[in-house]
Amino acid sequence: MKHITLGTGGLEVGRIGLGCMGMSAFYSGAGSDEAESIRTIHRAIDVGVTLFDTAEIYGPHLNEELLGRALAVRRDEVVLATKFGLVRKPDGSRGFDGSPANVRSSVDGSLRRLGTDRIDLYYQHRIDPDVPIEETVGALAELITEGKIHHYGLSEASPETIRRAHAEHPMTAVQMEYSLWTRDPEHAVLPVLRELGIGLVPYSPLGRGFLTGAIRSIDVLDEDDFRRHNPRFVGDNLASNLRILEEVDAVAAELDATPAQVALAWLLAQGDDIAPIPGTKHVSRLEENVAADALVLGEEQVLALTELDAPRGDRYADMSPLNG
């Protein structure tokens, strides 16, 4: 697999990573087959994946523990990324905590669950509007000095927050949803990242599974799958959004590829500072996704995909992911 460097601090990664969330939380079948998930993680390393992404909120804690078990004898072969700052309140709702005290308690918990002495890339999962970003980043900079983390990043941060954080201590990467299904970073965030020399790690690069072509009706999703309540997957919105998939299918047919491979290849064509992290818990899907590294789209195909209409429906039903 081709490698790229995120940020200016020399963090080298395979340009397709692995998002591990769905192995333990939120999606259909999460947590149902740990053995297959571990096989998928090991196979990912074998085929050149180096960047593995998790978070303390996934489970909560279960996904970090799973990844720790899977990487127990292969830790030095990977770039390990996890996230803090998105917390679950006693009533079940979510909140934010970017306080220096939480930064320290969270990293110690993640290190313990992951079974490692350092985290390669540590993200603030969501920005805490009640804590100045300089205070949060100041605590992260201390962890870098101590060797507990090697690089830091932000997830779903605004251009202003990115600038302030980077001025406090150089940032390596920003994680945002970015795909043919979600183009938001192109308008304001990506130009700032390129100005500052910060990498972009797109999560949900397959549109939460939509761009694989496997979800043409929510009836295929388990009752507890959060996509059943996601605006883009319900009612007339889903029916309308299938037109996007038809266009991706058409390009895939031209290249003898799958829709997922085309969607990932389009992302990779957007620049050599982008490392998407498609998620899966199955070896077969992993191998399909990684094969996109070798797929080259023609200029006309890239243009046709770039000009696709935006999907109908908001990204989330009950909260804005961009809060700082």
Q: Which of 23, 32, 14, 124 is nearest to 65 (CA)?
A: 23
Cα gap 5→13, rounded to integer Å: 6
Six token digits for residue 86? 């998105």
C-beta of residue 38 within 8 angstroms of C-beta of residue 64 = no
245 three-class SS: helix
- Pairing between strand 11-14 and 3-6? antiparallel
Contact (Cβ atoms closer than 8 angstroms) between residue 191 and residue 216: no
Torsion of CA 310, 316, 317, 322, to 10 degrees: -110
Residues carrying an active site annotation: 58
User: How far is 129 from 97, CA to CA, in rounded Å?
Assistant: 9
- The crossing angle, in degrees rounded to 10, of helices 34-46 and 283-290 is 30
- Provide CB contacts within 8 A for 70, sequence distance 6+: 37, 38, 41, 42
Of 193, 149, 196, 140, give the one whose Cα is nearest residue 169.
140
